[in-house]
Each structure stands twice: as structure tokens, then as C-alpha cells.
Amino acid sequence: MKILYAIQGTGNGHLARATEIVPYLQELGETDLLVSGIQGDIRLPFEVKFKLYGFSFIFGRKGGVDIWQTILKFRPFRLLRDILNLPVRDYDVVLCDFEPVAAWACKLRKVKCIGVSHQNAVLHPKAPKPAKSELFGRLILKHYAPTATNYGFHFKALDALNFTPVIRSSIRQAVPAQKGHITVYLPAFSDRQIEKLLINFNQIRWEVFSKNTREEYIRGSIHFSPVSMKNFNRSFVNCSGILCSAGFETPAEALFMGKKLCVVPMKNQYEQACNAAFLAELGIPVIKDISDFQEKLQMWLSDQEVVQIAYPDQTREIIQAVVNRYQN
């Protein structure tokens, strides 16, 4: 059996989840990987057959998606060329983690494409949504990478097709510790902005993983490092708390490990607004407005409450069931 697994490379969460899923796919058949997008910092420990430009939403430096830069970096003719040239008919199964090239290539050629992503679950009627509905954001989630059948992952299982998160084996097997620092991952903020937000909390050791630096450096009690899965995992496992954007993988693994968690959803990013709504229902502090950042961060640092969820290890069974059901 030949499998194509197409992965969104705009952020690191999709790539991190792939490190867990790919070995299970390789057990089932010959697996080729496709990664599109220009915002990821993680290099997969597998051969990537198709590395494509794709269509990325560009992170800004003031807390959200930079719409103007996203438009400037969009390459429609390159995207169309890649869609038309991708040989999706060569595969028995095409799985798509919110990746547009493979999704649209399958749609145009009437090849069945199976969506296996967090974004599928975000649109589920049972998934919490923000009070302010965003039609444009919903349209992007629905049409950016259209698939024939959708399976999803969310902070809670929503039905028979929407499961609890994929927790990486490296996190499941780790022994958590409390070494006093706070791990920070806010990719839509500049280093300068993060420094301004955290500098008044100099009693805390902050370990910031930044998309904007290639070398480590220190500002007061703030240690900036480039993004590295190995170093981030080490910091994450040993931290006393996680301050991050309202993505999916990092908050889910923080919940699994019982790490104190606070999220800052990106502006102009409907998926993160939905994630923040779900996390708020679970009792996780959410900082939506930077004007409230100092006050809410102080409250979070003073609060000892921690939410922990024992997510079951069912990734292999899910992937096996999906592939075996939909192989051509």
C-alpha cells in the first residue's frame, strides 16, 4: 500500500504531531511525506518527498497574523502549479493535516482525500466557539484544505470521528519536574515586545523560544533561544508553567503533563480564538488583550491551580482504522 501524508508546515504543531503519526503510517505501507508552508521551525526526522511553498499565514510581531505580509508572500501561480503537478493518483491513501496542495489536487482529480487534523474538530458543532463569530475565519477553516472525510483532534473527544489529542511519546515517557522557570512560546510577538511584556517580572526565570533569533541571549531574567524541538522539550518537561499562544499541541501536552498553563491567542486567527474558548471552559487563563497582560499574568503567576487531563494513548489505533477503512 502506498500512502501520502500531507502536512501543514505553517506552524510547528502540525510538524510535531507528524513525528508521532508517521511511524504508525510506515507500519501500514510505503509512506511519502509532503510538507508545504514557510513558517515551520521543526525539521522532521524523516525524508520529505515533496517540500512545497504552499500557502502560509505569516506570523507578525505584534501578537497576530500579519495580513499584509501574508498577501505579499502568497504565490498563487506557484500554488496552482504544485496542485496540478502533484501525483495524487499514485497513492492508495491520501491523508491530509490541513495541507492545501494535496487537498486541492485530490479535489480536482476526484481522488479521495482524508482529513486528519485539529482544524476539522474546531468546526464541530460541539466545539466551543468565541462569542464573536468570524465568517472569514470559518470560511478559511472550511475551504483552505477541503477533504472528503474528516477526522479531528481536540481538547476533548467530541464524537466517534473526533478524538483527544495526539500526545507525543517523548512527552508521555518523560518524568516532569519543577525547576522554577516558565517556558514561553509566543511566535507572533517580536523579541522586543516579549521583553517589554515580561521585564517587570524579574523574579521569574523565563525561557523564551523565539522565531526571531538564531542565537541564545539574555535580557535580565529572560533567556531567549531559537526554536528547537529538543531544547523546547527539555524546557517544557522541567518548567513550572507554560505561557504560549492558543495553538493546540503545546496546550494539549501541557494539560496532559499537568503543567500550569496560560494562553495568549493570536489576533486575526479564528482557530486560536476557538481554542482559547475551549481552554477557558477547562479553566485555563486566557489573555486576549495586551493592555491587560501585566495584571492577568500576575494573577496567573500567583495562582497555584493546575488542570491535568489523562489523555489516552490511542494514536496507533486511530491511524490504523482510518487507513484500513479508506485505502483505494
From first CA to last CA, the distance across the chain in angstroms is 9
Q: What is the pLDDT of residues 271-294, one digit of tens each?
A: 999 999 999 999 999 999 888 899
pLDDT of 78 reads: 96
Kindly report the CA angle at 60 between 54 and 63, in degrees rounded to 5? 130
Mean pLDDT computed over 240-255: 97
Domains 2-168+313-326 and 170-302 share a fold: yes
pLDDT value at 23 more than 70: yes
DSSP secondary structure of 79-131: HHHHHHH--GGG-SEEEEES-HHHHHHHHHHT---EEEEHHHHHTSTTS---S
Mean pLDDT of 301-309: 94
pTM, 2 dp: 0.93
Residue with the three cell numbers 467530541? 158
Q: What is the CA radius of gyration of the chain?
A: 19
Q: Which residue has the higher pLDDT, 236 or 131?
A: 236
Q: Quick check: 328 pLDDT over 70?
A: no
Percent of the chain with pLDDT over 70: 99
Average pLDDT over residues 135-163: 93
Q: Average pLDDT in the 30-43 region?
A: 89
Whether 111 has a pLDDT exceeding 90, the answer reads yes
Architecture of domain 170-302: 3-Layer(aba) Sandwich (3.40)
For the cut 90, the answer to whether the pLDDT of residue 68 exceeds it is no
Task: Give the residue, 66 or 298, on which the prediction is more confident.
Answer: 298
Q: Domain residue spans in the chain?
A: 2-168+313-326, 170-302
Mean pLDDT across 122-147: 90
- E strand intervals along the chain: 2-8, 30-36, 50-52, 93-97, 114-117, 149-153, 162-163, 181-185, 205-210, 217-219, 222-226, 241-244, 261-263
Whether 183 has a pLDDT exceeding 60, the answer reads: yes
Tell me which residue of 226, 202, 204, 201 sits closest to 215, measured CA to CA: 226
Q: How confident is the model at residue 135 (pLDDT cuts 50, 70, 90)?
A: confident
Torsion of CA 38, 42, 47, 53, to 10 degrees: 0
Q: What confidence score (pLDDT) does residue 151 get?
A: 96
Q: Say if domain 2-168+313-326 classifies as CATH 1.10.10.
A: no
CA 279 from chain centre, in angstroms, equals: 15
Q: At residue 140, what is the residue type? A: I
